[in-house]
Amino acid sequence: MVLDDEPPAEAEPKKERVKPDCTKADAKFWKSPRPFRGKYKADGERVYYWDYTHNDLEVFDMNGKHLGSAHPDTGEMIKGPKGYRIRL
């Protein structure tokens, strides 16, 4: 219920979304890890996989456990883990 003398509540800022036109060639962070077993890249403690559906990076630990999704330009985590594993 909003009273007339109350100012309207400000909306929470939205999280930065990956731009839909971001590609592997344009992504700054995707270029920094070294190639690892074909379609993956790794930096020693994490493994990265390009997600073509969402244009972001899927992040896994070296055991294959999903850690979340990262922004392809900055490398910041933008989504949480989904609770699955991949075979490396």
Using 50, 70 and 90 to split pLDDT, how confident is the model at 16?
A: low
* Cβ contact 22:73 at 8 Å: yes
**Single pTM value for the model:** 0.75
Question: Which 8-state DSSP code applies to residue 76?
Answer: -
Q: Which residue has the higher pLDDT, 34 or 5?
A: 34
Q: Which residue ranges make up each domain of the chain?
A: 29-79
According to CATH, the topology of domain 29-79 is Ribonuclease domain of colicin e3 (Residues 456-551) (3.10.380)
The CA distance from 52 to 1, in Å, is 43
Residue of 68, 58, 55 whose CA lies nearest to 33: 58
Task: Kindly indicate the confidence band of residue 42, based on its pLDDT and cuts at 50, 70 and 90.
Answer: very high
pLDDT of residue 77: 92
Between 59 and 73, whose confidence is greater? 59
